[in-house]
A and B are shown apart, each in its own frame.
Chain A
Amino acid sequence: MRTRAILGSILASASVLIVGYQAGTTVTMANGISVTESSTSAGSTSGTTASGPADGTYTGSSVNTRYGAVQIQVTIASGSISEVAALHLTNADGRSVQISNHAAPILRSEVLGSQSARVSNVGGATYTTQAYLASVQSALDQAGA
Chain B
Amino acid sequence: MTTEVRPRPSRALRHTGTTVADYRRNFSRRARLSDLLVMALWTSGATAAALFLASGGIDQFTSVAETVTSIGIVAGLVGTDFILVMLVLAARISIIDRTIGHDRAIAVHRSLGKPALYLLLAHGLLLLVGYGLSSGINPIAEIGPMLALPDMPLAVIGLGLLIVVVVTSIMAVRRRFSYEGWHLVHVLSYVAVAFALPHQLSVGGILSEGSGQRVYWIALYVLALGGIVTFRFVEPLVSSLRHRVRVAAVTEIAPGVTTIQFDGHALRGLGASGGQFFIWRFWAPHTWWHSHPISLSAMPTDNSARVTIRDLGKGSAQLSTVPVGTRVSIEGPYGLFSTTARTSGKLTIIAAGIGVTPVRALLEHATFAPGEATILLRASTPEETYHWDEIKAIAAAKGATCLVMVGHRPRGIDTWMSEADAARGVTLTSAFPDITDSDVYLCGPSTWLDLVEADVRATGIRPHQIHTERFDW
**A24–B148 touching, CB < 8 Å:** no
**B149–A95 touching, CB < 8 Å:** yes
- Give Cα A98–Cα B50 distance, bound, in whole angstroms: 26
- Which residue of B34, B43, B52, B136 is within 8 Å of A13 (Cβ)? B43
**B45–A13 touching, CB < 8 Å:** yes
- Which residue of B49, B65, B136, B145 is within 8 Å of A20 (Cβ)? B49
Report the minimal beta-carbon distance from A59 to chain B, rounded to whole angstroms.
Answer: 26
Q: What are 20 A-to-B residue pairs whose CB atoms are below 8 Å? A: A1-B38, A2-B34, A4-B35, A5-B38, A8-B35, A8-B38, A9-B38, A12-B43, A13-B45, A14-B46, A17-B50, A20-B47, A20-B54, A24-B55, A28-B58, A66-B205, A93-B203, A94-B204, A98-B148, A102-B135
B39 at the interface (CB under 8 A from A): yes
- Give Cα A17–Cα B42 distance, bound, in whole angstroms: 12
- Give Cα A112–Cα B208 distance, bound, in whole angstroms: 34
**Residues of chain A lying within 8 A (CB to CB) of residue B34:** 2, 5
- Which residue of A6, A14, A67, A94 is within 8 Å of B202 (Cβ)? A94
**Residues of chain B lying within 8 A (CB to CB) of residue A20:** 47, 49-54
**A13–B42 touching, CB < 8 Å:** yes
In residues 87-107 of chain A, which contact B (Cβ within 8 Å)? 92-96, 98, 102
- Give Cα A19–Cα B148 distance, bound, in whole angstroms: 35
**B134–A124 touching, CB < 8 Å:** yes
**Residues of chain B lying within 8 A (CB to CB) of residue A19:** 50, 54
- Give Cα A102–Cα B34 distance, bound, in whole angstroms: 51
Residue among A2, A20, A92, A102 with most chain B CB within 10 A: A20
**A21–B205 touching, CB < 8 Å:** no
**B57–A25 touching, CB < 8 Å:** yes
**Residues of chain B lying within 8 A (CB to CB) of residue A40:** none
Having A2-B35, A12-B46, A93-B208, one finds 17 other A-B pairs with CB under 8 Å, namely: A2-B34, A4-B35, A13-B45, A17-B50, A20-B47, A23-B54, A24-B57, A28-B58, A28-B59, A66-B56, A93-B202, A94-B199, A94-B202, A94-B203, A95-B131, A98-B145, A124-B65
- Give Cα A64–Cα B299 distance, bound, in whole angstroms: 68
In residues 31-84 of chain A, which contact B (Cβ within 8 Å)? 31, 66-67
How many residues on the B side are at the interface (Cβ–Cβ under 8 A)? 40
**B134–A24 touching, CB < 8 Å:** no
Report the minimal beta-carbon distance from A100 to chain B, rounded to whole angstroms.
Answer: 13
**Residues of chain B lying within 8 A (CB to CB) of residue A24:** 53-59
**A123–B135 touching, CB < 8 Å:** yes
Report the minimal beta-carbon distance from A34 to chain B, rounded to whole angstroms.
Answer: 14
How many residues on the A side are at the interface (Cβ–Cβ under 8 A)? 33
A102 to B, closest residue via Cβ: B135
Residue among A14, A27, A66, A94 with most chain B CB within 10 A: A94
- Give Cα A11–Cα B335 distance, bound, in whole angstroms: 31
A85 at the interface (CB under 8 A from B): no
Report the minimal beta-carbon distance from A92 to chain B, rounded to whole angstroms.
Answer: 5
**Residues of chain B lying within 8 A (CB to CB) of residue A2:** 31, 34-35, 38
Report the minimal beta-carbon distance from B77 to chain A, rounded to whole angstroms.
Answer: 11
**A23–B203 touching, CB < 8 Å:** no
Closest 6 A-B residue pairs measured CB to CB? A20-B50, A24-B57, A13-B46, A124-B134, A9-B42, A20-B53
**Residues of chain B lying within 8 A (CB to CB) of residue A23:** 53-54, 57
- Which residue of A6, A27, A92, A123 is within 8 Å of B136 (Cβ)? A123
A16 at the interface (CB under 8 A from B): yes
**Residues of chain B lying within 8 A (CB to CB) of residue A31:** 56
Report the minimal beta-carbon distance from A106 to chain B, rounded to whole angstroms.
Answer: 12
**Residues of chain A lying within 8 A (CB to CB) of residue B434:** none
- Give Cα A102–Cα B50 distance, bound, in whole angstroms: 30
**Residues of chain A lying within 8 A (CB to CB) of residue B55:** 24, 27, 66
In residues 198-233 of chain B, which contact A (Cβ within 8 Å)? 199, 202-205, 208
**A21–B56 touching, CB < 8 Å:** no
